[in-house]
Amino acid sequence: MSNTEIRHPVPPFNRETALTKVRLAEDGWNTRDAERVSLAYTTDSAWRNRAEFATGRREIVDFLTRKWNRELDYRLIKELWAFEGNRIAVRYAYEWHDDSNHWFRSYGNENWEFDENGLMQRRFACINDLPIKESERKFHWPLGRRPDDHPGLTELGL
């Protein structure tokens, strides 16, 4: 890895920098740009996402490309759960629909570990999908970054 490859904030995290890291991750994923998102991870980053394992940026890009081709109109909210040193735990929810217009809200938890340059080197995700009616959706902002004034998970009662 090049020494110029730094993603601020870097560990050790305090409450402010952990909150910033979580929001930056949320913003990145809401772009649905797999190449851009992969740059937040080390070149040899290890993932467990449900029952799928990915290692390295190329596999991360492939995974995210498949994901966002299947999970349409994807909108995500992440919330800080805990942090210490170079680790952050988050809870999150995202809404999406499949190509048959069946809507889901997916709930999950992630554990993140960062290297000294602020790149995520390990990501462990547990996720459950809840079928919802379109009328039950809570995430209504235009595709892309969640507006600063849009409620978070706690405010939405999730």
Residue range 25-53: average pLDDT?
97
Number of domains in the chain: 1
Reported confidence tier of residue 31, pLDDT bands at 50, 70, 90: very high
Say how many C-beta atoms besides its own lie within 10 A of residue 47's C-beta: 19
Q: Say what the pTM is.
A: 0.95
| Residue 53 is assigned to a structural domain of this protein | yes
| Residue 118 is assigned to a structural domain of this protein | yes
| Residue 4 is assigned to a structural domain of this protein | no
Find all residues with CB under 8 Å of 58, minimum gap 6, and list them.
none
Query: CA 141, 61, 1: angle at the middle one, nearest 5?
Result: 115
Residue range 130-156: average pLDDT?
98
| Residue 103 is assigned to a structural domain of this protein | yes
pLDDT for the residue 1: 46
| Residue 30 is assigned to a structural domain of this protein | yes
Residue 77 tokens read as 């909210």
Give the H or E element holding residue 42. strand 41-49
Closest CA to 152 of 97, 57, 76, 96: 76
* Mean confidence (pLDDT) of the chain: 96
DSSP 34: H
Residue range 140-154: average pLDDT?
97
| Residue 44 is assigned to a structural domain of this protein | yes
CATH code of residue 116: 3.10.450.50
Closest CA to 137 of 116, 122, 156: 156
| Residue 10 is assigned to a structural domain of this protein | no
The residue range of the domain holding 34 is 15-136
Closest CA to 10 of 85, 83, 118, 89: 118
| Residue 120 is assigned to a structural domain of this protein | yes
DSSP 143: S
